[in-house]
């Protein structure tokens, strides 16, 4: 049968058209602008070649710290959310845990809040004098542990990562639970007949069958982490100083000061970064399909 | 009984006791984790019923006097009714358009993975990597007269959320056997009817997943209206909250009530749809 006739390609056109107009086209325009000196103060836009990119990658530019902060945030939150999500998914699929579904709901619940709200709430919770966290520590006699969570250079990154993990781990847990429940029970029956203990079952049954899910979850976490904006903007606004400034908060600042060329360049660097990542992921998934 | 059998029995009993100890510990750990996660929300809830003075420290104590009128104040001052309607309009319209367009596109692309289709798939999925370039997007929105309009913001949400939705739907459609299509065609179905009356009903779980995920993402978005809607009458709830926070920064009781009210609708959507969200994600996730 002729696949072209049964599955008319124009079914895909409306989606592709809207995507092109309001997502891809602005993205490509942005890359075009990254080779210019466009800003809000000059009338004429001049082509300057790779000058903006050179500025970003030369020696000690502050832009490099935004890029390294973005990578730090991405790697740290991907690890914490995946590991905690996996552990909680394993715990909350055990039959002897009481009220499993209630616990799942509770741990997922921060996911329904916007990052803006999460940022505002934790700004108040982590406030050094009136915040809930420090007041709680003082009330149980651990006042010496109270900190300036969001303004002390030593604590701001752990705090940001903890807040992001608090919000995001429930989602990761849900995806992994979905993966766990789709593993046929026969595998475990066979494994326990062979005398495999819990750890051995986890190692030889759960983990290999869960691999595609964990790969997917990692992709989600990495793409989210590289693009993070609302979270950092609402919680620390990149502070103290530039300590938690990431690519997108820097882009936001550059745009608001009218330096459009530099903003689009930094944005484009992020785009190339993510495109390369996506390419490798899609490639590896195609290879998997061939095997299956 | 041989010595070996006795030790076997003993160790069996041993693991049984150990097993129940482990079960109790696991339950305690679970309760502890849930408490840690829910604590900020409980603090928020309690403070939304306090007086302004009591709510300054955002503590975990019961309100001295319960102030349900905080919610009434918030509804009036925060213009929550109109922003609620805006949020609902934007989320529902965008989500419905996304689901229809993505279902159609994912179906043909996933069934025939060659030539134009293969190109279209990579073309659209590359959008997962696309950071939104707000200055360039502003230009496009102005040229197309979509800036500061309701249809504009809806189409914008559609465009931005299509790539990931297509990626998920593509994996799901792969799990529906192709034999169904062939049988229908042999029975004289046109491609159009095949899609509408045979395939679409099979896609309901996937569409429900996309509904819940996109609804939550769009309901909670804050940056798009910040850039592309300048009139407060068109603002969704997130922007109303942001503005409310700016004006009532020192009244955490009111801010808390405001936040609680914005969480409720999306929590309801999640509770209703959670059965689908888990199912849809697993078929998408495991298949890849």
Structure tokens at B161: 């959320």
Helix or strand run (H / E) with residue B23: helix B3-47
Task: Give the nearest chain B residue to A261 (CA atoms).
Answer: B135
Q: Is the Cβ–Cβ distance between A98 and B27 less than 8 Å?
A: yes
d(CA A52, CA A44): 17
d(CA A50, CA A37): 11
Whole-number average pLDDT of chain A:
87
Task: Please answer yes or no on whether B105 and A12 come within 8 Å at the CB atom.
Answer: yes
d(CA A35, CA A33): 5
Omega within 30 of 0 (cis) for the link into B117:
no
Residues of B in contact with A91 (CB under 8 A): 26, 29-30, 33
Place of tokens 């309760």: B31
Structure tokens at B192: 């159009």
pLDDT at B142: 93
Q: Is the Cβ–Cβ distance between A270 and B131 less than 8 Å?
A: yes
Structure tokens at A210: 């869960």
Task: Please answer yes or no on whether B34 and A107 come within 8 Å at the CB atom.
Answer: yes
Residues of B in contact with A85 (CB under 8 A): none
Q: Is the Cβ–Cβ distance between B259 and B74 less than 8 Å?
A: no
The candidate with the shortest Cα–Cα distance to B127, out of A27, A158, A80, is: A27
Q: Is B140 on the interface with A (CB under 8 A)?
A: yes
Structure tokens at B262: 């914005």
The candidate with the shortest Cα–Cα distance to A167, out of A258, A67, A80, is: A80
∠ CA(A218), CA(A224), CA(A228), 5° rounding? 145
3-state secondary structure of A59: coil
Q: Is the Cβ–Cβ distance between B106 and A254 less than 8 Å?
A: no
Q: Is the Cβ–Cβ distance between A88 and A173 less than 8 Å?
A: yes
Q: Is A208 on the interface with B (CB under 8 A)?
A: no
Instruction: Give whole-number Cα distances, A145 to A124, A134, A139, A155, in Å.
Output: 18, 8, 12, 12
Task: Please answer yes or no on whether A11 and B105 come within 8 Å at the CB atom.
Answer: yes
Q: Is the Cβ–Cβ distance between A169 and A110 less than 8 Å?
A: no
Task: Please answer yes or no on whether B120 and A96 come within 8 Å at the CB atom.
Answer: no
Residues of B in contact with A124 (CB under 8 A): 58, 252
Residue A16 has pLDDT above 80, yes or no: yes
Q: Is the dihedral of CA B19, B23, B28, B33 positive or negative?
A: positive
Q: Which of A145-154, A214-223, B9-18, B252-261 has the lowest mean pLDDT?
A: B9-18
* C-alpha gyration radius of chain A: 24
pLDDT at B222: 83
Task: Give the nearest chain B residue to A19 (CA atoms).
Answer: B159
Q: Model-level pTM greater than 0.90?
A: no
Residue A36 β-bridge partners: A47
Backbone angles phi, psi at A264, to 5 degrees: -70, -30
Q: Which of A4, A130, A166 lies at the smallest CB-CB distance from B57? A: A130
d(CA B256, CA B254): 5
d(CA A89, CA A78): 16
Structure tokens at B140: 């496009």
Count how many pairs of residues, chain A against chain B, have C-beta atoms within 8 Å: 274
- In eight-state DSSP terms, residue B234 is G
d(CA B284, CA B164): 11
The candidate with the shortest Cα–Cα distance to A262, out of A55, A99, A47, A25, is: A55
Instruction: Provide the pLDDT confidence category of residue A173 given band limits of 50, 70 and 90.
Output: very high
Instruction: Give whole-number Cα distances, B163 to A111, A141, B100, in Å.
Output: 21, 51, 14
Exposed, middle or buried: residue A23 (CB in 10 Å: 0-12, 13-18, 19+)? buried
pLDDT at B159: 96
Would you tell me the crossing angle of helices B204-220 and A115-125 to the nearest 10 degrees?
50
The candidate with the shortest Cα–Cα distance to A284, out of A179, A212, A200, is: A212
- From first CA to last CA, the distance across chain A in angstroms is 24
Q: Is the Cβ–Cβ distance between B282 and B166 less than 8 Å?
A: no
Q: Which of A14, A114, A263 lies at the smallest CB-CB distance from B135? A: A263
Task: Give the nearest chain A residue to B140 (CA atoms).
Answer: A26
d(CA B136, CA A267): 11
d(CA B189, CA A282): 34
Minimum distance, in Å, between the CA of residue A186 and any CA atom of chain B: 18
pLDDT, tens digit only, all 288 positions of chain B = 444 444 444 444 455 677 788 889 999 999 999 999 999 889 889 989 998 888 777 777 888 888 889 999 888 887 888 889 999 999 999 999 999 999 999 999 999 888 888 888 888 988 887 878 888 898 899 999 999 999 999 999 999 999 989 988 887 888 888 888 888 888 888 888 899 999 999 888 888 888 888 998 899 888 889 889 988 899 998 888 888 888 888 888 898 898 888 888 888 887 887 777 666 665 544 443
Minimum distance, in Å, between the CA of residue B73 and any CA atom of chain A: 19
Q: Which of A12-21, A65-74, A235-244 has the lowest mean pLDDT?
A: A235-244
pLDDT in tens, A103-141: 988 998 898 888 888 988 898 889 888 888 888 888 888
Task: Please answer yes or no on whether B140 and A21 come within 8 Å at the CB atom.
Answer: yes
Q: Is A131 on the interface with B (CB under 8 A)?
A: yes
Task: Give the nearest chain B residue to A1 (CA atoms).
Answer: B182
Per-range mean pLDDT, top range of A32-46, A86-100, B92-106, B204-218 = B92-106
C-beta atoms surrounding A29 within 10 Å: 17
Which candidate in B129, B160, B254, B272 is best for mutational testing of the A interface (most A CBs within 10 A)? B129
d(CA B105, CA A215): 25
Instruction: Provide the pLDDT confidence category of residue A69 given band limits of 50, 70 and 90.
Output: very high
pLDDT at B1: 43
Task: Give the nearest chain A residue to B124 (CA atoms).
Answer: A16
Dihedral angle, C-alpha B146, B150, B151, B153, nearest 10 °: 70
* C-alpha gyration radius of chain B: 26
Q: Is the Cβ–Cβ distance between B257 and B48 less than 8 Å?
A: yes
Minimum distance, in Å, between the CA of residue B1 and any CA atom of chain A: 23
d(CA A149, CA A91): 30
Alpha helices in chain A (DSSP H): 3-6, 13-19, 25-33, 51-57, 62-91, 100-108, 115-125, 132-139, 153-181, 185-193, 198-201, 207-227, 230-235, 247-256, 260-291
ipTM over 0.95: no
Q: Which of B27, B126, B141 lies at the smallest CB-CB distance from A278? A: B126
Instruction: Give whole-number Cα distances, A97 to A245, B177, B260, in Å.
Output: 41, 37, 29
């Amino acid at each position: 049968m002729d696949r072209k006739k049964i599955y008319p390609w124009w079914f895909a056109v409306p989606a592709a058209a809207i995507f092109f107009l309001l997502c891809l086209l602005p993205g490509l325009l942005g890359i075009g602008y990254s080779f210019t000196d466009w800003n809000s103060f000059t009338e004429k836009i001049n082509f300057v070649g790779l000058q903006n990119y050179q500025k970003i990658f030369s020696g000690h530019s502050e832009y490099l710290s935004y890029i390294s902060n973005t990578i730090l945030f991405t790697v740290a939150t991907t690890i914490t959310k995946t590991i905690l999500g996996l552990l909680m998914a394993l715990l909350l699929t055990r039959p002897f845990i009481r009220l499993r579904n209630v616990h799942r709901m509770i741990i997922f619940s921060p996911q329904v809040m916007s990052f803006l709200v999460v940022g505002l709430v934790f700004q108040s919770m982590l406030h050094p004098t009136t915040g809930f966290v420090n007041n709680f520590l003082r009330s149980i006699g651990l006042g010496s542990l109270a900190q300036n969570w969001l303004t002390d250079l030593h604590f701001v990154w752990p705090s940001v990562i903890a807040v992001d993990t608090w919000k995001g781990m429930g989602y990761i847990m849900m995806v992994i639970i979905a993966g766990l429940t789709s593993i046929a029970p026969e595998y475990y029956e066979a494994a326990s007949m062979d005398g495999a203990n819990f750890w051995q079952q986890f190692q030889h049954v759960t983990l290999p069958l869960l691999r595609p899910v964990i790969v997917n979850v990692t992709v989600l976490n990495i793409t989210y982490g590289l693009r993070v904006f609302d979270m950092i903007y609402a919680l620390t606004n990149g502070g103290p100083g530039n300590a938690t400034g990431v690519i997108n908060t820097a882009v936001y600042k550059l745009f608001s000061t009218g330096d459009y060329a530099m903003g689009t360049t930094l944005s484009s660097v992020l785009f190339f970064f993510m495109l390369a990542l996506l390419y490798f992921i899609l490639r590896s998934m195609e290879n998997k399909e061939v095997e299956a | 009984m041989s010595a070996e059998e006795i030790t076997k029995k003993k160790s069996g009993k041993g693991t049984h006791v150990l097993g129940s100890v482990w079960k109790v510990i696991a339950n305690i750990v679970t309760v502890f984790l849930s408490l840690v996660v829910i604590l900020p929300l409980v603090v928020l809830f309690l403070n939304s019923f306090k007086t302004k003075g009591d709510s300054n420290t955002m503590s975990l104590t019961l309100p001295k006097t319960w102030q349900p009128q905080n919610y009434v104040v918030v509804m009036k001052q925060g213009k929550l009714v109109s922003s609620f309607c805006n949020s609902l309009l934007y989320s529902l319209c965008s989500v419905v358009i996304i689901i229809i367009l993505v279902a159609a596109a994912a179906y043909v692309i996933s069934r025939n993975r060659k030539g134009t289709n293969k190109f279209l798939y990579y073309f659209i999925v590359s959008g997962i990597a696309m950071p939104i370039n707000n200055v360039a997007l502003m230009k496009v929105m102005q040229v197309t007269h979509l800036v500061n309009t309701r249809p504009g913001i809806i189409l914008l949400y559609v465009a931005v959320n299509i790539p990931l939705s297509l990626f998920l739907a593509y994996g799901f459609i792969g799990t529906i056997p192709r034999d169904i299509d062939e049988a229908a065609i042999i029975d004289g179905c046109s491609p159009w009817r095949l899609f509408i009356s045979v395939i679409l009903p099979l896609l309901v779980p996937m569409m429900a997943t996309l509904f819940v995920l996109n609804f939550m993402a769009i309901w909670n978005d804050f940056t798009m209206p910040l850039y592309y809607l300048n009139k407060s009458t068109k603002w969704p709830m997130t922007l109303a909250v942001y503005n409310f926070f700016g004006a009532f920064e020192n009244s955490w009781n009111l801010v808390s009530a405001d936040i609680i009210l914005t969480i409720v609708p999306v929590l309801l959507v999640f509770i209703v749809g959670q059965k689908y969200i888990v199912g849809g994600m697993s078929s998408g996730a495991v298949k890849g």
